[in-house]
């Protein structure tokens, strides 16, 4: 069973830290929304880099520098 980005957002709002793999299939816009919410909630997101461009990854980090880890 896969988790939708909406479900992931609910988990973040509940205080969960998340790891987003390529298998999640989230768009960059969805991940950015999750990153921003994580910053607001003070939780952490780990993002696997293989699906996103370096520019997109930089955007994630710039949105919430202390709340994002990129796995290369």
As given in the structure block, the two tokens for residue 72 are 């290369």
At 43-63, the pLDDT tens digits run 999 999 999 999 999 999 999
As given in the structure block, the two tokens for residue 41 are 């909630």
For the chain, state the CA radius of gyration. 11
**How many Å apart are CA 36 and CA 49, to the nearest integer?**
18
At 20-45, the pLDDT tens digits run 999 999 999 999 999 999 999 999 99
Helix (H, G, I), strand (E, B) or coil at 70: strand
């Amino acid at each position: 069973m896969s988790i939708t980005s909406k479900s992931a957002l609910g988990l973040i709002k509940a205080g969960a830290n998340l790891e987003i793999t390529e298998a999640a299939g989230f768009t960059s816009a969805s991940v950015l929304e999750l990153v921003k919410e994580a910053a607001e909630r003070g939780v952490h997101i780990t993002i696997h880099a293989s699906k996103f461009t370096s520019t997109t990854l930089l955007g994630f980090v710039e949105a919430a520098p202390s709340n994002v880890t990129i796995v290369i």
